A and B are shown apart, each in its own frame.
Chain A
Amino acid sequence: MVALDASSLMGDRGAQARVTMLALMAALLLTGLLSLSHGASGVSLWSLIEALTSGQAMPDRDRLILWEIRLPRMLTGVLVGASLAVAGAVMQGLFRNPLADPGLVGVGAGAGLGAVVAIVLGGLAPLWLTQAVGYHLVPLAAFLGGWASTLVLYRVATRSGRTSVATMLLAGIALGALAGAATGVLVYIADDRQLRDLTFWGLGSLGGASWPKLLAAGPVMALALVAAPFLARGLNGLALGEAAAHHIGLPIQRVKAVAILTVAAATGAAVAVAGGIGFIGIVVPHLLRLATGPDHRFLLLNAGLAGATLLLLADLIARSIIAPAELPIGIVTATLGAPVFLWILLRRRGLVDL
């Protein structure tokens, strides 16, 4: 009893964060159901429920739409949205900067380069490779690109067992420029159709979601999402700076290594299945920090829930606003995210820096 009283008295925002978490869970559940039940074909979840309860078999077409189109798409959206938001939150905690983004450690640039290489030079790939991976060549290349650049950066920034976050940031900018240049070269030699593919890839979409893709990338994202909450204490400590985090007893080297690998895995896999989707990683954690404080024990979980919800909503808009065509989801998240981002920047002017 005393503990409870004391904690509410002493500005612990845990209770608030827990309520938010419940609300977000409910929101995600609702959005998930909406995502399953909403679509151009008019097949609704209720018809599924009805079919299940009445024991009748659903029409093949309806089952296909729910099971092969909407369900993998919904699950992909949940995992990708959660991964992007959690990766953003982890990265911001690691760099002690609310504007940090997985793009900073080169995951984005590396993944982008991988995708561009696959799109432009995919035709030159050896036959055995194309036969083995089929049309998953682009996602695979994006994932490998993201991981490779992260590992390179990690090696560059780590000396005698210590990773310098600042070095990593600077090297990330350099590697980003290099990847940008390489991407530029490829864009330069790309033809019209490849350029269109590149544009669409860069804008992201859940349109290509399918069970095989989900089964390949889903476990990687899920693993990262499960690992992230264990970083909460470490990231909280890092807010004090690395030295102070060490002095309150945290194994910061391990925290940093796990954080970087988590971000690389989550972002690499998310970018691989859904292309470049911006702003979720920055906007979601920032809004949550405003609402319930920066405590990562709640922030990471809430960011995952909110990111998943937002991406599902964005996807609902993307696939219905210009139906029967489909808008790239990156356009939706950027259109919603950019004004919020500007609003954050405007607010920041008046506040204490960082």
Chain B
Amino acid sequence: MLISNDIRVSLGKVPVLHGISAAARAGEVTVIVGPNGSGKTTLLRALTGDVAFQGRVCLNGQDCARLRPWELAALRGVLPQASALAFPFTVAEVVRLGLTVATHANRAELVVRALGAVDMEGFARRLYQELSGGQQARVQLARVLVQVWEPVVAGVPRWLFLDEPVASLDIAHQLAVVRLMRDFARRGGGVVTVLHDLNLTAMAADRVWLMDQGRLTGQGAMAEVLTDAALELAYGCPLRVGRLPALGGWFALPQAAGVA
């Protein structure tokens, strides 16, 4: 269980988050959605302790502020929105950094499997800096995956915090990441992620937090939160949410007024 208790963040004197209280469950994918500037990423960064905030974040019943870095790292992996890397490390070396505090017997094999999971298995010896943006993003994801490879350890669920993990990926790899998140949750882990794409959100999410102007305007099961009315209010444009009869999958389609 992830509990966010009255989180407030100000940048300078400007409040950006006005007291967010919400919960996410292990075994579920929780997606934070909302228009640009609504505070999605700030909220995720507060949850992972990357911005100064007031309030409290509890992970599996423990106050995150009281945990040591290595205790936190054993509990959760965090993928930031953008990752820069200094020095020419190879792909394998970057992924292995995710195992810094792990006590895994077979690290090398784990690295190979994580690279396979993000469809990068042939790239282990390549220099990270020579890859395309999308490939780099996948390598970073593999680094985070390898850190919490087993979703549940000794009955305790582990967590993935992913900030726009599909931002620079092509459609096939976007879907692959959605599958990864769903698989991690299915095996008992918790996933909290920021997504822009409402269709991917509808596909990935068990639970949705809808943000608007620094406030949580809706949280709950995906189908309950992603309604036509709620989305139109948040995004300021008409949207139709539904299920494709033929495939059974969810969609969110913008109703573009004035575009022929």
Shortest beta-carbon distance from A252 to chain B in Å = 7
**Per a CB cutoff under 8 Å, which of B76, B125, B130 touches A11?**
B125
The 15 listed contacts between A and B (C-beta, < 8 Å) are: A2-B106, A6-B111, A10-B115, A10-B124, A13-B90, A97-B86, A239-B97, A241-B80, A241-B84, A244-B83, A247-B73, A249-B74, A249-B100, A250-B70, A250-B100
Considering the complex, which residues of chain A in the window 19-70 have a beta carbon less than 8 Å from any beta carbon of chain B? none
Given contacts A10-B125, A240-B85, contact A247 B101 (CB under 8 A): no
Q: Determine whether A289 belongs to the interface, using a CB cutoff of 8 Å to chain B.
A: yes
Interface contact A6-B112, CB-CB below 8 Å:
yes
Residue contact B108 to A10, C-beta cutoff 8 Å: yes
Task: Kindly state the separation between the CA atoms of A8 and B90 in the bound complex, as whole angstroms.
Answer: 13
- Residue among A236, A240, A246, A250 with max Cβ neighbours from chain B (10 Å): A240
Q: How far is the CB of A1 from chain B (nearest CB, A)?
A: 11
Task: Say yes or no for A12: interface residue by CB 8 A criterion.
Answer: yes
Interface pair B89/A239, CB less than 8 Å apart? yes
Name the CB-closest residue of A to B147: A248
Q: Is A9 an interface residue (CB 8 A)?
A: yes
Flag whether A18 is at the interface (Cβ < 8 A): no
Nearest residue, chain A, Cβ from B131: A352
B85 A98 Cβ-Cβ under 8 A? no
- Bound complex: CA of A94 vs CA of B196, how far in Å? 34
Q: Residues of A contacting B73 with CB < 8 Å?
A: 247-250
The contact string, 1 if C-beta is below 8 Å from chain B, for chain A 97-130, is 1100000000000000000000000000000000
Q: B residues bordering A, Cβ < 8 Å? A: 48-50, 68-70, 72-74, 76-78, 80, 83-94, 96-98, 100-101, 106-109, 111-112, 115, 124-126, 129-130, 143, 147
Interface pair B97/A236, CB less than 8 Å apart: yes
CB <8 Å contact, B100 and A294: no
Min CB gap B226→A, angstroms:
30
In Å, the complex CA distance between A237 and B69 comes to 13
* A293 CB within 8 Å of chain B: yes
- When the two chains form their complex, are residues B97 and A251 in contact, meaning their CB atoms are under 8 A apart? no
Whether the pair A249, B70 counts as a contact (CB closer than 8 A) is: yes
Tell which of A6, A11, A13, A241 has the most Cβ of chain B within 10 Å: A11
* Min distance, Cβ A354 to any Cβ of chain B, angstroms: 6
Are the CB atoms of B69 and A251 closer together than 8 Å?
yes
Q: Report the bound CA distance from A295 to B109 in whole Å.
A: 19
Per the 8 Å Cβ criterion, residues 271-291 of A in contact with B are 289
- From known contacts A249-B70, A295-B89, infer whether A244 and B108 are also in contact, taking CB-CB under 8 Å: no
The answer to whether A11 and B91 touch (CB under 8 A), given A237-B100, A246-B69, is: yes
Q: Are A6 and B109 within 8 A (Cβ)?
A: yes
A-B interface, 9 closest residue pairs, ranked by CB to CB distance from nearest: A249-B73, A11-B125, A249-B101, A294-B87, A96-B86, A10-B124, A6-B108, A10-B92, A249-B70
Q: How many residues of A contact B (CB 8 A)?
A: 36
Shortest CB–CB separation between residue A99 and chain B, in angstroms?
11
How far does the alpha carbon of A97 sit from the alpha carbon of B107 in the complex, in Å?
28
Q: In this complex, what residue of B is CB-closest to A299? A: B87
**A233: CB under 8 A from chain B?**
yes
Q: Report how many A-B pairs have Cβ atoms within 8 Å.
A: 113
Partner of B89, one of A7, A246, A293, A352: A293
Query: A342 within 8 Å of B by Cβ?
Result: no
A3-B108, A247-B78 known; A237+B97 contact, CB < 8 A: yes
For the complex with contacts A10-B112, A12-B96, A247-B73, 9 further pairs of A-B residues with Cβ separation under 8 Å are A3-B107, A247-B77, A247-B78, A248-B97, A248-B101, A251-B69, A251-B70, A252-B69, A289-B88
Interface pair B87/A289, CB less than 8 Å apart: yes
- By beta carbon, the residue of chain A nearest B94 is A240
Cβ of A243 < 8 Å from any Cβ of B?
Answer: yes
Task: Give the chain A neighbours of B70 by CB distance below 8 A.
Answer: 249-251
Q: Give bound CA distance, A3 to B104, whole Å.
A: 12
Interface residues of A in 286-310 (CB under 8 A from B): 289, 293-295
In the assembled complex, the CB of B7 is this many whole angstroms from the nearest CB of chain A, namely 18
A103 to B72, CA, bound (A): 35
Q: Are B80 and A243 in contact (CB under 8 A)?
A: yes
Residues in B whose Cβ lies below 8 Å from that of A294: 87-89
C-alpha gap A97/B76 in the complex (Å): 29
The smallest beta-carbon distance between A104 and chain B, in angstroms, is 15
Chain B residue numbers with a CB within 8 Å of A13 are 90, 93
B76: chain A residues within 8 A (beta carbon):
247
Contacts of B96 in A (CB 8 A): 12
Name the B residues within 8 Å of A96 (CB-CB): 86-87
Output the least CB separation between A122 and chain B (Å).
Answer: 42
Residue numbers in A under 8 Å from B147 (CB-CB) = 248
